[in-house]
Amino acid sequence: MIKKYVYGNPFPTDAVVKDIEKAEDKMPFFETDGYGGFTYNLAENDIVYGLGEQIRGINKRGWQYISWNYDNPNHHEDTHSLYGAHNFIIISGKSTFGVFFDYAGKIEFDIGYTQRSIMHIKAAKNDLAVYIITGKNEKDIVRQFRNIIGRSYIPPLWAFGYGQSRWGYKDEQDIRNVAKEYKSAGIPLDSIYLDIDYMERYKDFTVDKERFPDLEKLVQDMKSQGIHLVPIIDAGVKIEEGYDVYEEGVQHNYFCKNADGEDFVGAVWPGRVHFPDFLQPEARKWFGSKYSVLTDMGIEGFWNDMNEPAIFYTEDRLADTCAEIEKLTSGNMGINEYLTFTGMVAGLNGNIGDYDKFYHNVNGEMVKHSEVHNLYGMNMTRSAFEALQEICPEKRTLFFSRSSYIGAHRYGGIWQGDNKSWWSHILQSMQQLPALNMAGFLFTGSDTGGFGCDTTEDLMLRWLQYSLFTPLFRNHSADGTRRQELYRFDNVKAAAEMIKIRYSLIPYLYSEFLKSAMNDEMMFKPLAFDFPDDNMAKQVEDQLLLGNELMIAPIYKQNAQGRYVYLPEEMMLARMKSRNDYQTEILPKGHHYVDVSLDELVFFIRSKKAVPFDKTDESTSKADIHSLELLGYPDSSYELYSDNGYSPEPEDSLTVSTLYCAE
């Protein structure tokens, strides 16, 4: 059952797509203060799931989280905000229910941080809708919630292949070399990503003709090798006379305004920029139409970035900061002055005060950006998705974004942001997956190997062994860091085998993705969701159920040669060094130490189940469901969902078939 409670005058976020009548009774479970505050008394053993893309564990108790989309590349344990705002949680325990705080501005979640037994949620203003969802169990609550927020985005099949990316591929030859080296190493590759380097001075929908003299030919040459090029699009539009996107935006008032009604000026990669007003339907349609500049060259996928929106600085704050720094540095700079100096410089980027300085035109009314901040990235992705439905109506286009709000899951996926080459970020990524699935985000994954810092060969291999199970499977790194294309490592054979195993598992991963999207289910679940009476399962934070057949338990510690796992039921351990070289054994319910060498993959098949496995597939373009085998328990079966991989509606070509495992 779902009940909707309305406070004040909520801004329409479009997160919920089904009409839910406003309830007139008192909201259950929470005490409200009438000022945007909601308090719930937590029992000792209550678990709190959700909040989508956030730090810390699967159980969110014990910390304070702030829903405020923020360009933060340092995902430390003391972080409060990341790139997305996903205000849906499930409290499981004394009472089990879900709650969605539909609010576009800043909202804080103190989940047993100030007081262990108190959860306090505080919205910046008392203008929000709150949905209370009760059901048979956590999975039923998620299914109900997903039903009212709309079907999750389904990407083309090729998007499930392996992708190579780097900020720092400077020219066409870099791209061609990456493709050549992967082919020489015998490693399958479905996509190469273009970061900001391909643009002319970081201007959206432009191509640097010196470094990429014929992008259209490059696109076609790559396609002939089965490789898709996927360019980045940023939110800020460079201020430059003669630049058509800038001039059209100014002419038609498509940019956000400052308090004086002039186009707001911020700064990102190109320097001074304007921000498209994605809350205007006309501006969304205009900006989305610009993607045709690249689709006309054969591009079939995009990733949207810097759309929190990120702001490096505003001119007035920069001027004030420089003036203060001049004063600080004019004399002897002691520790207090030095800390003030470094704090002022660091405070330029993403300063929360800057988001109070510009406005959106919403049906003729000027709305302060800070009140709708968390909707910006969602509506940028919506802009692209809706436009491409008109530009390329016959096929799906790959989209994923950095910033998001619940509702953005209908238009594209997300990647989990600018992580680091840290072992802890394998675990952090894994712990975000169930919460993101709860909020509708199915097409997601981390930057394999880590984006920032320098990766190592063992970290890369262990990360591959985790992320080969995630729908988005992309190796991405920052300019200036160690190059981490797989062919650069000594043990390239082990890395290649991990990629080939991924391709062998795509029939299963794609099938489970379709089931999750079409049936409003989760692809990744905490163990407790399927084993609610198992107290040990409730405590496991480093293992996940994948679909209805698998459990994954990655290694995420340096130099580890194995790990402990907890099996809530008997399972089959699958140990693979390659897709054609594997062993299985049955392990009973309970605790086990499992040896895992650096060059092998270990995962678990649930009792009496099996997964489809393709021993020959090396590319999504060569997938053949008629060549599948089943890997798992004898006499088991698997219901396979498949389609043609590109039709906008999967039902148009959906095939459901049952595969049987021989004795």
Strands (E), 526-625: 544-546, 550-552, 562-567, 571-578, 581-587, 590-595, 601-606, 610-613
Look up 614 and say whether it is catalytic. no
Could you say which DSSP state residue 86 is in?
Answer: -
> Could you tell me if 522 and 139 are in contact, meaning their C-beta atoms sit under 8 angstroms apart?
yes
Query: Which residue is it, tokens 């000594």?
Result: 490
Kindly name the residue from 108, 195, 305, 521 that is annotated as catalytic.
Answer: 305
Q: Is 549 a catalytic residue?
A: no
**Cα–Cα distance measured from residue 609 to residue 630, given in angstroms and rounded to the nearest whole number:** 9
Distance CA 518, CA 528 (A): 23
Q: Which of 418, 512, 521, 618 is catalytic?
A: 418
Q: What is residue 261's DSSP assignment?
A: S
Spatial separation of the C-alpha atoms in residues 336 and 328, rounded to whole Å? 10
Which residue type does 142 have? V
Residue type for 421, please? S
317 touches 295 (CB < 8 A): no
What the block records as the tokens of 288 is: 């989305």
Q: What is the chain's Cα-based Rg? A: 25
The one catalytic residue among 308, 354, 485, 618: 308
Which element (helix H / strand E) includes 381? Answer: helix 376-391
Cβ 132 vs Cβ 3: under 8 Å: yes
CA atoms within 13 A on the CB side of 98: 30
For residue 104, give the amino acid letter.
A
Residue 472's H or E segment, with its range, is none
Residue 366: other Cβ atoms inside 10 A:
13
* 599 in catalytic set: no
Tracing tokens 């981390």 back to the chain, one arrives at 446
What amino acid positions are annotated as catalytic residues? 305, 308, 418
